[in-house]
Chain A
Amino acid sequence: MEANKLNRRKFIKITGLAGAMLAVGFDTLALGSSNSTFKKLMAEDLVNGTQLNPFVTISAEGEVTIMAHVPELGQGISQGIPAIIAEELGVSMDQVTIIKASASRQYGRQSIGGSRSVRSLFTPMRQLGASTKDVLVQAAANKWDIDPSACEVKEGVVYRKGTNDSLPYGELVADASKLELPKNPSLMDKKDFKIIGKATHRPDLAGKVNGSADYGIDAQTEGLLYATIERCPTLQGAVTSYDADAAKAVKGVVEVMEVTRTVYGKKNTGIAVIAENYYAATEGRKKLNVQWDNAEFKNISTESMNADMIKLAQGEGMKHFEKGDFESNQGKKGIDGSVKVKSVGYSLPHMAHSCMEPMNATVHVREDNTVEVWAPSQSPQVQRQFAKELGIPDNEAEDKIKVHLPYLGGGFGRRSMNDSLEECFQISKSMRKPIKLIWSREDDTLQGPFRQISHHRMTMSFNSGDRIGMQHKMVSPAITTQGRPSNGRVPFEVMEAINTHYDFDDFSVRYAEYKNQIPIHWWRSVFGSTNAFPHESFIDEIALELKKDPLQFRKEKLKSEPRFVKVLERLEKESNWNEKLGANEGKGVAIVESFGSIVAHAVFLKRENGKVTIPKVVSVVDCGIYVNSDQVIAQTEGNIIFGLTAALKDAITFKDGAAQQANFDSYRMLRINEAPRDIQVHLIDNDEAPGGVGEPGLPPIAPALTNAVFNLTGNRIRTLPFDLQDI
């Protein structure tokens, strides 16, 4: 214990208190000799005081440490979850040191995705904070020999109501640790929240402005070797030959070996080059001259995929939502004999995730079968899987396999697949040396898995009797049914962001599954990123056919859904929607519910000196109760940029079975000079249950943009991406 204490003090002196959460992975040699099994300090070793539960530790001096156990990839969750605990614990954030946890079973599930963290943890973490407070209060009540109800808590101090008697948490923690945490603690009234709902600074940002934040790619350990892997350009295909000797002839290269990468059940072989430094590994890789047997995948092209999907869209499709009877009523004439039917196709391409930190992993499988892992992962609890591979009994997995959880340089869904950890583990297991595997940017872009491709057949029918019908027929591969036959049901993930609340007389939503060989994976807002564009564009098409203002039309057709109406009304006001625009200006609106939240954007365009820009985006977000208002705004700003990149930059296209875009020169990202200068995000305050925040801002941005393009030019964009200078 003494060693830990000294180390912690030394550490805090170096990095400052706020930097304490950055520590993991840097202080390699602080503990133990080179002979000890575990040289590395784990995050938990930095904690000082008496632990009341895996999340909360309080020192005798009253310092409160809260473990941030959810992977931090930019969404601010390393501040968000501890803030929820601190609120109910009755301490201020100034009193709290947040330490980024390791991946470990003691924290429960640590996987993230689906904008789920606050949604799923809001109540359990409040209960945890409240029950922790309860044992501290009980300890005080015992000392005073009174009932706990005669006590109150302010900023980590228990007071005896109506007196000046007080006991700080630090003096109570030893006694409190002997008490059992109550199972059903009473929770605070929302109106009494002091932390939740406020804009709070994130402690992790201190290390993100000075280079000290530890990402997976920064892992350092003694004797580290570096690996790079050559994989099949058509993603699947068998290795027929490669020149290991030529690679080994490069100075610094120490090993060449085959490794397997599993993608949705398919095992693909790559050739790893392991060297003393990363540059040598990449030079060795150039000499491999790998030959592949992949003729069967060479016919795959984006063109053929689109043709296949258009054909599938002519079929009936599986029913997802049916109201009225679209099929019988489409084309039915009104009283005066008039009817209009319009049917159009929309298409969206494959996309890469392009996390700024390319995929990587660091693993050390030692001779004694103990393991140390740096897992830059959205699903970092790899102990069980690795234990199985090493024949370690499950009940020893946590002791023998230690997993650091570094910061993630972006995730966007990509890091929920642990393929880089799988590859790195194999290399280290074979060599029994610490290995850092780094995917190049080209590997990262070319190898997928990708955001799904999709095609949408949109049909409207309306007659003079005001009978409106709409059908959205969606064709795409599904994520959860890859590698197995379709079971004839609509997979749960594919209908995200299709708004069936629109009050049309006939409304039909169908899905046709398109099986093909390109692996797809969760990509920020997933099917919301593909469905909302055709859906909300087509709502605009209907509104304009009916000569209605697109925003007013949405309000009218969503009037049975008060949360949607409130968002639209707020957007109308904040964006000055009804103000007349100049001749060279355009505006577009879209509203989408996804991941439990409703977001509407108004996009404004301007044509000046022949150049089209996006000067302004106004957003309104209803995500129910939120933890950190500034992070909701930040995530929405980010979603706007992420969605604009997808709408305006490059697709991943396939030719002869291989992706054609490899790096940021051909797979371009939106840059600061193209980004809207004015982004305004407004939050709706209500008492609804927390909704998602990391993704819901993305789906409405593309249709709001293309609706604005139509408003400016009269051109309807039905295929993404498109060039804003070519409208």
Chain B
Amino acid sequence: MATYKLNINSKEYTIEAEPQTPLLWAIRDEAGLTGTKYGCGIAQCGACTVHLNGNPVRSCSLPVSAIVGQEITTIEGLSDDNSHPVQKAWLEVQAPQCGYCQSGQIMSASALLDKNPKPSDEDIDQAMAGNICRCGTYHRIRKAIHVASKEISDGSK
């Protein structure tokens, strides 16, 4: 066991863990932020997606020891009141069904829009292909990203 200081959503968490513990379990069970989900454990489904220094990563496949000193943002850190343009768009188009994959979907989508505020359908395919939705909400996710893109673009005019 070792002690690690993790910077999650601009807050410092001190946790005790084995070095190889996946970041996912540190976030969920040590920091208590359960919005980030376990889906596959092998970086195939994207349910565990968080931002690491602004980039989308699969927290199930990153050992906690490799993360120290870097900025982690989870779904809980996106906004305090569902006011992030991606969250608003997700609600506007009523994207989630069971909702379990949606934290990861939203983190991938928000990272995409940070870098590319006006993504094409092909850009969306590329950025979102790592996130599985078993309920089959892809159609609405695509729509929601376009809605969020419009709000972001309108807002920056």
Contact = CB atoms under 8 A, between A and B. Distances in A.
Chain B contact residues: helix, strand, loop or mixed: loop
Nearest to B32: A220
A208 B96 contact: yes
A279 B136 contact: no
A358 B33 CA distance: 18
Contact of B91 (A75, A206, A215, A412): A206
A414 to B, nearest CB: 11
A74 interface: yes
B134 to A, nearest CB: 5
A677 B98 contact: no
A279 B21 contact: yes
B8 interface: no
B20 to A, nearest CB: 8
A205 B96 contact: yes
A279 B18 contact: yes
Contacts of A354: 134
A251 B132 CA distance: 34
Given A278-B25, A279-B21, A663-B40, A672 B99 contact: no
Contacts of B95: 205
A73 B40 contact: no
B64 to A, nearest CB: 9
Nearest to A637: B139
Contact of B42 (A207, A638, A664): A664
Contact of A217 (B20, B37, B82): B37
A74 B129 CA distance: 21
A211 B103 contact: yes
A50 B40 CA distance: 45
A675 interface: yes
Contacts of B137: 634, 637-638, 641
A358 B39 contact: yes
Interface in A627-657: 630, 634-635, 637-642
Contacts of B75: 209-211
B33 A74 contact: no
Interface stretch (A155-163, A310-318, A403-411): A403-411
B44 A663 contact: yes
Given A209-B106, A356-B37, A663-B40, A410 B135 contact: yes
Given A278-B29, A637-B140, A672-B138, A210 B44 contact: no
Nearest to A19: B82
B5 interface: no
B59 interface: no
Contact of A440 (B41, B99, B130): B41
Interface in A388-404: none
Interface string B5-45: 00000000000011011100100111011111111111011
Nearest to B39: A356
A583 B85 CA distance: 42
A662 to B, nearest CB: 9
Interface residues of B, number: 64
Contacts of A639: 136
B21 A358 contact: no
A664 B40 contact: yes
B128 A672 contact: yes
A634 B90 CA distance: 13
A139 interface: no
Contacts of A409: 37, 98-101
B72 interface: no
Given A209-B90, A358-B38, A672-B129, A641 B138 contact: yes
B94 interface: yes
Interface in B117-133: 121, 124-126, 128-133
Interface string A603-640: 00000000000000000000000000010001101111
A669 B37 contact: no
A36 interface: no
Chain B CB within 10 A, most for which of A16, A205, A211, A358: A211
A207 B87 CA distance: 10
B25 A356 contact: no
A419 interface: no
Contact of A277 (B29, B42, B133): B29
A201 interface: yes
A194 to B, nearest CB: 20
A697 to B, nearest CB: 10
A217 B38 contact: yes
Nearest to B90: A209
Interface string A655-681: 000000001110001111101110100
A412 B47 CA distance: 18
Chain A contact residues: helix, strand, loop or mixed: loop
A543 interface: no
Given A209-B91, A210-B75, A220 B34 contact: yes
A438 interface: yes
Interface string B96-118: 11111111001000000000000
Contacts of B128: 671-673
B100 A215 contact: yes
A693 to B, nearest CB: 12
Contacts of A76: 97
Interface in B47-81: 47, 74-76, 78-79, 81
Contact of B98 (A283, A408, A676): A408
Contacts of A252: 18
A211 B76 contact: yes
B124 to A, nearest CB: 7
Chain A CB within 10 A, most for which of B28, B39, B75: B39
Contact of A74 (B97, B125, B130): B97
A356 B74 contact: no
A208 B74 CA distance: 13
Given A204-B99, A410-B98, A665 B42 contact: yes
A357 B82 contact: no
B80 to A, nearest CB: 9
Contacts of B44: 663-665
A74 to B, nearest CB: 3
A210 B21 contact: no
Contacts of A671: 128-132, 138
A205 B99 contact: yes
Given A251-B1, A634-B94, A280 B124 contact: no
B33 A211 contact: yes
A356 B100 contact: yes
Interface string A676-692: 11010000000000000
A204 B96 CA distance: 9
A675 B102 contact: no
B142 interface: yes
A640 B133 CA distance: 13
B79 to A, nearest CB: 7
A664 B130 CA distance: 11
Interface of A: 16, 73-76, 201-202, 204-215, 217-218, 220, 226, 251-252, 277-280, 283, 354-358, 407-412, 438, 440-441, 630, 634-635, 637-642, 663-665, 669-673, 675-677, 679
Q: Closest 5 interchain pairs by CB?
A: A211-B35, A641-B136, A409-B100, A208-B99, A74-B98
27 contacts: A16-B81, A74-B98, A76-B97, A201-B94, A205-B96, A209-B75, A218-B34, A278-B29, A279-B17, A355-B98, A356-B101, A357-B39, A409-B37, A411-B98, A412-B134, A441-B41, A634-B137, A637-B140, A664-B42, A665-B44, A669-B134, A671-B129, A671-B138, A672-B129, A673-B129, A675-B136, A676-B139
Interface of B: 1, 17-18, 20-22, 25, 28-30, 32-42, 44-45, 47, 74-76, 78-79, 81-82, 87, 90-91, 94-103, 106, 121, 124-126, 128-142
Given A209-B106, A671-B130, 19 more contacts: A201-B94, A209-B75, A210-B78, A211-B33, A213-B99, A217-B37, A277-B17, A277-B29, A279-B18, A354-B134, A356-B132, A357-B39, A409-B100, A441-B45, A641-B139, A663-B44, A664-B39, A664-B45, A672-B142
